[in-house]
Amino acid sequence: MFFVTCFNIVGLIFNVAVTTAHPNILLIIVDDLRTTLGCYGDANAYTPNIDALAEDGIVFTEAFAQQALCAPSRNSFLTSRRPDTLRLYDFYSYWRDAVGNYTTLPEHLKNNGYTTMSIGKVFHPGISSNRSDDSPYSWTEKPFHPYTDRYKNAPICRMVPQSKAATNLLQLTQKYTSDVSHLQICPVRVSAMPNKTLPDLETLREARRFINKHKKNVNPFFLAVGFQKPHIPLKYPDHYLKYHPIRKFKMPERYKWPDNVNNVAYNPWTDLRWRKDVAKLKLKFPWERIPVFPVPIAYAFHCISSFIVPWQLSLFSEKFAKQIIQSYYAAVSYIDNMIGKLIHQLHVSMIRENTIVILTSDHGWALGEHAVWSKYSNFDVAVHVPLIISIPTYIQRRHNKFMRSNALHSKKHCRVTDAIVELVDIFPTIADLAGVPIPICQVINNTNDHLKNILIQNKVPNPCSEGITLLPLIKSTLQCQSIPWKKAAFSQYPRPEIQPMLHPNSDKPRLKEINIMGYTLKTSDYRYTAWIPFAHTTCKPDWDVIIAEELYDHKTDRAEDFNIAALPEMLKTKKYLRVLLKNGWRNALPRY
C-alpha cells in the first residue's frame, strides 16, 4: 500500500544559499533486489525507510533491467547501452577495450563539474570494469570497497531456530556439513564478525563520511552507493529475523516448472547448488525441487537419532525453502535500515533538499517461482526491478514553472506510474534533472542504415544513449496526467544449449559458449519471449529460426505460470509482439 505525504515544508522554505546551480545526486543500487517492498504492495515486506522514500518520490511500478546478471546489467545502465551494444553478456570483457569508448553516467557528470564517488558495489568488480571500477574515467576519488569483503564466506553463521522442525533441520544441515562456510542462509551476530562489522555496514559508514565531508562543497556531487545484500550468501544481522516469522511465508502457488515452457528458459540455479547447506540436500540436477527430494541414508540416520519421524522429512525440506525466502526478506530489511540511515545523513548535513535520490537494483531474483531460484532468466521476477526517484521540490518547479506547488503531491496516483521504463533510462534522466546536457553522438557505422538516413536527412540529434529521459513522464505523473510512452521494455539472456547444463554453465555462459539468445519484451499487457540462434563471434541473432516462444498474459497471469504462445487465438497477438521484439527498442519509443 502506498502512503502519500506532502513534501517536507523545509522543501518550500529551504535556505537558497545552500542550493547549488546543480543538485547533488545519490544513486543507491541494491544488489539482486526484486520488488519485495512495502511501497510495491508486498505485505510480507518490512521496509519502512524505502517506503518513506517512495512517499517522497515517484514510484515506477514497471521498471525493467536489460539482463538479469550483475556485470552486464550494471555496465548497461551506467553507460545507457544495451547488452548487444556492449557485447557483454558475462563478466569477462571491458567495453572500452571490446567495443568502444562509451561515456558512463558518472564520467559525464564528472566532465560537467561534479565530484563523483563510488562506494560499495557499483560497477561489478573484475574484468568487466577493468579491475578498477572504471577508474580514472568515471570517478573523481578512488572507489571504496569494504575491507570485510574478503570475509563474505567466512564460516561464522548463527543458525536461528524458528520452530522444532526448523531447529532440527538447521542442526542436521550443520552437523552433516563439514563446516558452515559457503552457506546460503547465514544470519549472524555482528559482534562475532571479523572487525565486528559487515561489508554493507562499512559501505554505509563511508557513504555518510563522504556526505558530511562534501556537504559544503561548491561543486555538486554524484555519489553512487552499492549495497551487496540481498545477494547470496544471505548473511545479515540475525535480529532482522524478528520482522519475518517463518509462519507468514508460503511457497509459490505453482511451485513447479510449467509443462509447456521449453527447457531453454530454465535456469538451474547453480549458484545455490554449490552452497553447502543446499548441496547436502543431494538434489538431482537440474530439475529436482528443494521441497521434494530422496532422503540420503546419512540424513535418514540423523533423523532417526534425532527422533524425527519419516513424515516430517518433506516438511524439513519445505521449511528450508521457506527459510531461503525468509532470509531474503530479512536481508532486504537490513538494507532498508542502511538506506534510512543514509537518507538521514542527508538531512543532518542539511542537503536533503538539494539532493536527488534514485533507488534501484541491477535485476530481480526468483524465490521459488517456477521451482526456480536466483536470477539468470527472462522471467518477470528476474528482470522486474524497483525504481524510485525522489526529486527536490525546487527542481520540480524549475522544470515546470506552471505547476502549482500545493498540488504536487495531493493524490496517491500522482506519485506512481505504471508506464514502461528501463534501467537504460537512468543515465539520460539524471543528466536531464541535473541540468547537464545529454551527450550527442555522431551518426556512426553501427547505426542501422534506415535510422542513419532519418537522422541525417532530418538533422535529428543522436543521443549517446539507448534510453530516454523520464522527465516528461515524471512531469505528467505529478500533474495527474498521462502521456504516450514506451510500447515495451526489452531484456535478454543467453544460453549455451537448449538443455540445462553445468559445463558450460547454463546460468552464466561465457561469450564463446553462447549459442542461443533469449530476447524478451514486456508491454502493458503481455510478456513475449523468443529463443533464437545466436552467433557469439559476431553477436548477431538469427531471426529466421525460432527455437522456442513464450507468451504470458499479464492481465490474468503476472506470475507467468501459463505459456499461451501455442494457443490459436493468440496467433495475431504473438505475431505483433514478435515483430515488435525483432524491430527492437528504437521502434518502441514514444512519439512526441
The tens place of each residue's pLDDT in the chain, 592 residues long, gives: 333 333 232 233 233 333 457 999 999 999 999 999 999 999 999 999 999 999 999 999 999 999 999 999 999 999 999 999 999 999 999 999 999 999 999 999 999 999 999 999 999 999 999 999 999 999 999 999 999 999 987 767 765 444 443 333 344 344 433 344 567 899 999 999 999 999 999 999 999 999 999 999 889 999 999 999 999 999 999 999 999 999 999 999 899 999 899 999 999 999 999 998 899 889 999 999 986 343 443 444 444 443 333 334 444 556 889 999 999 999 999 999 999 999 999 999 999 999 999 999 999 999 999 999 999 999 999 999 999 999 987 666 665 643 444 444 445 568 999 999 999 999 999 999 999 988 777 655 555 555 555 545 554 455 689 999 999 999 999 989 999 999 999 999 999 999 999 999 999 999 999 999 999 999 999 999 999 999 999 999 999 999 999 999 999 999 999 999 999 999 999 999 999 999 999 999 998 6
State residue 442's pLDDT score. Answer: 62
- pLDDT score, position 303: 41
| Per-residue model confidence (pLDDT) at position 462 | 55
461 phi/psi in degrees, rounded to 5: -60, 145
For helices 313-348 and 199-214, give the axis angle rounded to 10 degrees. 10
Sequence spans of domains, the chain = 24-398+411-588
Q: Which residues are catalytic?
A: 70, 124
**CB 70 within 8 Å of CB 374:** no
Q: Count other Cβ atoms within 10 Å, centred on residue 502.
A: 12
Predicted TM-score (pTM) above 0.95 = no
H helices of 406-537, in order, are 426-433, 449-458, 471-478
| Helix (H) or strand (E) run with residue 527 in it | strand 526-535
Alpha-carbon torsion (419, 265, 292, 317), positive or negative: negative
Q: What is the pLDDT of residue 441?
A: 72
Place of cell 542550493: 19
Angle at Cα 521 formed by Cα 519 and Cα 527, nearest 5°? 110
- Other Cβ atoms within 10 Å of 126 Cβ, number: 15
Quote the crossing angle between the two packed helices 164-176 and 297-305, to the nearest 10°.
130
Q: Does domain 24-398+411-588 have CATH number 3.40.720.10?
A: yes
Q: What is the pLDDT of residue 154?
A: 72
Query: How far is 402 from 411, CA to CA, in rounded Å?
Result: 18
